[in-house]
Amino acid sequence: MSNESLPPFQALMDEHGSDVLGFLVASVGPHDAEDCFQETFIAALRAYPRLEHAGNLRSWLLTIAHRKAIDHHRARGRRAVPAGSPEEVAGGKPSSNNRPDAVVAGGDPELWTAVSGLPPKQRSAVVLRFATDMSYAGIAHALDCSEDAARRSVHEGLQKLRGEFA
């Protein structure tokens, strides 16, 4: 397919924006998800005219989001972190609009907090599998790995989560 068969960029955002946001909320947390979301779509907009085919645009966007989440975690490791929990530092409790489960359907806040603590590849694989209902082949494409490696990342992430909730 040529780039003329690509849908308008706004249609792409409308169709896949909630999946990308849900992935990012579960990956980087509700407070940083919007910034990563904007970075994801800015990068996608810049690359969109050079995209050669419209095959699996959702996976393409989630791949960009995955890379932005990794960049976020790397940058976060270089920043000072305040002592105490976010609620203690902010002096309040998070609203329901800021909880990962408010954006990622069918979740419980403790579970999504535990998911956000997984190593990056496991976290992304688990989120893609369960928050966006992506196939293992799609996860492999988004994470730039084999399908077996995608299955392994989901499996190992679930094992760690089971250990925390057992």
Q: What are the C-alpha distances in Å from 129 to residues 4, 7, 64, 91, 106?
A: 31, 25, 16, 35, 13
Domain boundaries, the chain: 3-87+97-165
Q: What per-residue confidence (pLDDT) applies to 2?
A: 46
68 touches 46 (CB < 8 A) = no
- First-to-last C-alpha distance (Å) of the chain: 49
CB atoms within 10 A of CB 8: 9
CATH code of domain 3-87+97-165: 1.20.140
Convert the pLDDT of each residue in 9-38 to its tens digit: 999 999 999 989 988 988 888 888 899 999
Residue 87: pLDDT over 50: no
pTM of the model as a whole: 0.60
* C-alpha to C-alpha distance for 24 and 120, rounded to whole angstroms: 12
Q: What per-residue confidence (pLDDT) applies to 107?
A: 56
Closest C-alpha to 94, from 31, 52, 43 = 31
Convert the pLDDT of each residue in 33-81 to its tens digit: 899 999 999 999 999 988 887 788 988 999 999 899 888 888 866 555 5
Tokens of 153: 């990342």
103 touches 79 (CB < 8 A) = no
